[in-house]
Structure 1
């Protein structure tokens, strides 16, 4: 059920010709749905890039700093006075 090499080559050429035709005509999007899908895709890619950038900045700021930050001490035990009679 797989495609043969000739079929794959013909499909690739047809897709490349379609893309090049759109580039030549300067009409990349055929409908408003194409534009909306492209905007959603760019928003997703931008969000992923932003999150990766924030992770890199966090790692660089927290791991590479030579000055130790004072750690907050956690309380060792808190009595729950609501349980007292």
Structure 2
């Protein structure tokens, strides 16, 4: 069973009043654990945003600076092998 519209409105109003009361009292967190959890959350969000920024910068630099990929250097003495012989399977 879901909440009726009136119950949902009252619950949201109570939550909003609680948040506004904490803002007025300037005590947003109830314990040290709340502060620690908030710091961990902000660290996580900051790390994700930093990684997204690095990906964005990398993509922009690769698209703008290099129009074609550089060819890889292959040593002339090494031959290309497609697999490894498994001598354990020989009779």
TM-score, normalised with respect to structure 2 = 0.75
Cα RMSD (Å) of the superposition?
Answer: 2.3
Q: Which residue is equivalent to 1:11?
A: 11
Higher CA-based Rg: 2
Structure 1 position 44, deviation (Å): 1.0
Q: 2: CA distance between counterparts of 1:26 and 1:77?
A: 70
Structure 1 position 71, deviation (Å): 2.9
TM-score, normalised with respect to structure 1 = 0.80
* Count of residues paired in the alignment: 80
Q: Does 1:20 align with 2:20?
A: yes
Structure 1 position 69, deviation (Å): 6.2
Q: Does 1:41 align with 2:44?
A: no
Q: Which runs of 5+ in 1 are unaligned?
A: none
Structure 1 position 50, deviation (Å): 0.6
Q: Which residue is equivalent to 1:77?
A: 79
Q: Does 1:2 align with 2:11?
A: no
Q: Which runs of 5+ in 2 are unaligned?
A: 86-91
Between 1:58-67 and 1:22-31, the stretch displaced more is 58-67
SS in 2 for 1:64: helix
Structure 1 position 7, deviation (Å): 1.1
Structure 1 position 3, deviation (Å): 1.1
